[in-house]
Amino acid sequence: MGFGENLHNELVFQDIQIKELSARTGIKKSTLDKYLSGKKSQPSVENAVKIAESIGVTVEYLVKGEQFSEKKIKPILSAEHKTLIDHYKQLSKFNKETIQQLIQFFLKRQ
């Protein structure tokens, strides 16, 4: 698999739309579409880093499709955070928006 296919798979897995990725990275949607379609096989190093950082993966993963074993890297998230993220991913779009609103509400009350 190449960069575009690995990126596509990760975006689907994380439920991220191209428009959102464009907003996160500052890379034009049309450029991202070219990476995903294979019309432009590899991004610049700068764009690859922006994309990888914005979706929480390594550039190597996007280029090679290889993941690091857990023994090679220290977990960034605690087990509690991972559980919260896993539960959040299972929610509908409406429920995700509701959760985000609740979080904002509670943050304002602090």
Tally of domains in the chain = 2
In a domain, 74, yes or no: no
Q: Is the dihedral of CA 97, 62, 59, 86 positive or negative?
A: positive
102 with 57, same domain: the answer is no
Domain of residue 31, CATH code: 1.10.260.40
In a domain, 70, yes or no: no
**For residue 86, what are the domain limits?**
79-109
| Whether 80 contacts 25, CB under 8 Å | no
| Whether 35 contacts 3, CB under 8 Å | yes
| pLDDT tens-digit readout, 58-108 | 998 898 887 654 444 455 677 888 889 889 999 999 999 999 999 999 999
Query: Global pTM?
Result: 0.59
8 with 55, same domain: the answer is yes
53 with 25, same domain: the answer is yes
56 with 105, same domain: the answer is no
Helix, strand, coil shares, percent, the chain, to 5: 65, 0, 35
